[in-house]
Structure 1
């Protein structure tokens, strides 16, 4: 053995006593084994990168590339080196048997830890591989990996303590039951996150890339990550919000996925009309020039005149009988305008309706669905519709309500 040569060399040259020579032998062996192990580890890594890397590059599947990317073969190399070191411990410590037990425990625990890291690397590779399939792109795979890793780490820690204390797993787990309440307190958030992840998956509450809104956490954007502890949301202002996973079960939030999967995005916006500008229409000549209203006015006049004639209504007062109003005509005009609008989905509900009157006027609401659901296009469609509405109001002798500004007040004072 190489270390024996160095051992006798230093013993003869330095004339060290017998007890010191035993420790010198141990140190020499450890140094030699360490250098040999390091060289072997580098060789295994080189073999993994060059040979296995070339094989992975030539194969059609990307799974082997992901195994290399997530350092699976590096962790295998570490376990091989540690196993070889563990098998040679009885030779290294033949003169110091009392140390053998402690070294064996340390190496065994190191093997357990590197085994956990190896399994983690394999799980990450599987997760990345599944992400390549469309059916798994919106699934919270990170949560599954983290749940498995929490369980795996708990098992590894129990085995490590069992090795460290020389107690059987059964006895160690029995003793551990005494501290279950403390463990539940320590892992409370993890347990809640674990339960929430299962419920989110089963109920399909949230997926990756879903647009969600949660006012409690000022979240309004797309879900970019779902893990055991939190759901990460990238807001539309490019900030990032972290929401505890359990909050998606215990608190209320809005998921816009159904809207994205539907045939349209809802437009629900109103304009306030001054009540004192609403009146009966005596002269319909100007309204007859509006193309969208011509058929409606002709049909309505026939029905109104027939009713007033049959009922012998005194039309010397305009309030008597049935009459057309400028607000009614405007509402009908907007219905026809929405009906012929190319960017409004005609298969879904659309209408113009009056809401309950307020101190600020009569709300006239447009309720419709745009075909384009993309946010920027949706806002442009809505803006175009209401640009037209505000520009059309004056043609019906109506006024939109707005609070008086400084110029209005100055005009009143004059």
Structure 2
């Protein structure tokens, strides 16, 4: 108080050199005091902006810590400079202006609001820094924190608004909070997506359901791409056609979502595709076919083993191999199936430690499905498609060597037409 009185007396003495009859109750005095306070506050801000802040920036550039660089990038030090003039106004007002004056209350409240919102922006910068540093760490692959950061920012914003209102109306913040219960239903309606998103964010983080970088598919919303951001209320997904899909965060926990992370973290990406064999081309193998098949490197041992097995069977049961009703014979499709399995076993881009088989599916009106089921070592989309295409290029090319025909609707009709023409000509 003594310091304040001394400063006020000195200021009054200085003012009276120009206005001898001026008193502290005169409006002109308040105007001069206000102008002095604001002028010095502006000088302090300019000094902090032009002198202090560049020095801080130089100090930050010399350090190897990523925290201060992130704080600098998000403008923490720039926003901190606003606290100096606000603090000066708050401290200088009681010194130069009487407490009973209306101007006193206006300046004190303005300074407090100035500090309050400058502090809020500084906290925002700190939270954004925490998010960036966390996202750069390995932990970000386990659980995203963007939603929690946004919730924290929202909480500080609500607190700032409550303190601002209580400061303006000179009421305790507790009274304002107690009054909010009357409009709780309205607030729940307004913040419905925020609340649902916050709860979904907790579920996603706790169960490690999704993370940035995951490939997800949601047929309902035609989403097929990589998660770029999991926020409090929205999730951004960049589809493979480079479009951006935005959907509510809680949809990740309430809708059917396929997450391909398991495939990306596993040893391979599944190949599951069928070739439809024309049933008219399926037949028993004769000696000429078996001799031809035995020259194929992948199944030469298979042909020899099966031939010996059938020969022993016929000998044990005294069956003549020319007896088509009682003898056992290999089929071209069964041999082809054995060839494909052996081919996949030797393929360098197929994971041999995961499920691998060639199987027949139930026949239908377009032929007999012969399905290849295996896992490609290459999981990248382009490389995966190349491996899959190479495998089926080979499959289609090898069909004719086993006297098999892939079903094709027009080709099948042409085959039947030519067969009918031959039959008709033989009758004629």
Q: TM-score, normalised by structure 1?
A: 0.89
Q: Do the aligned residues in 1 keep the contact of 2:53 with 2:81 (CA within 8 Å)? A: no
> Which residues of 2 match residues 10-409 of structure 1 at below 5 A?
22-90=26-94, 93-94=97-98, 97-136=101-140, 139-283=143-287, 284-313=290-319, 315-404=321-410
* CA deviation string 1:26-61 (max 9, x = no partner): 444444433332221121122343221222222221
Comparing 394-403 with 126-135, greater Cα deviation is found at 126-135
Partner of 2:6: none
Q: How many angstroms apart in 1 are the aligned matches of 2:101 and 2:141?
A: 55
**Cα RMSD, aligned residues only:** 3.0
Q: How many residues align?
A: 408
5+ residue gaps, structure 1:
none
5+ residue gaps, structure 2:
1-9, 422-428
Q: How many angstroms apart in 2 are the aligned matches of 1:133 and 1:189?
A: 29
Q: How many angstroms apart in 1 are the aligned matches of 2:48 and 2:336?
A: 81
State the secondary structure of the residue aligned to 1:119: helix
Comparing 241-250 with 382-391, greater Cα deviation is found at 241-250
Instruction: Report the CA distance between 1:243 and its aligned residue.
Output: 2.2
Distance change in 2, residues 1:315/1:172 (3 Å): same
State the secondary structure of the residue aligned to 1:359: coil
Instruction: Report the CA distance between 1:402 and its aligned residue.
Output: 1.6
Q: TM-score, normalised by structure 2?
A: 0.86
Q: How many angstroms apart in 2 are the aligned matches of 1:94 and 1:5?
A: 17
* CA deviation string 1:387-413 (max 9, x = no partner): 0000000111111012217x969x989
Q: How many angstroms apart in 2 are the aligned matches of 1:389 and 1:273?
A: 11
Q: How many angstroms apart in 1 are the aligned matches of 2:373 and 2:52?
A: 63
State the secondary structure of the residue aligned to 2:272: strand
Q: How many angstroms apart in 2 are the aligned matches of 1:89 and 1:318?
A: 113
* CA deviation string 1:47-76 (max 9, x = no partner): 343221222222221212222222212222
Instruction: Report the CA distance between 1:315 and its aligned residue.
Output: 4.6
Q: Do the aligned residues in 2 keep the contact of 1:3 with 1:32 (CA within 8 Å)? A: no
Distance change in 2, residues 1:319/1:353 (3 Å): farther
Q: Do the aligned residues in 1 keep the contact of 2:23 with 2:29 (CA within 8 Å)? A: no
Q: Do the aligned residues in 2 keep the contact of 1:193 with 1:228 (CA within 8 Å)? A: yes
Distance change in 2, residues 1:272/1:92 (3 Å): farther
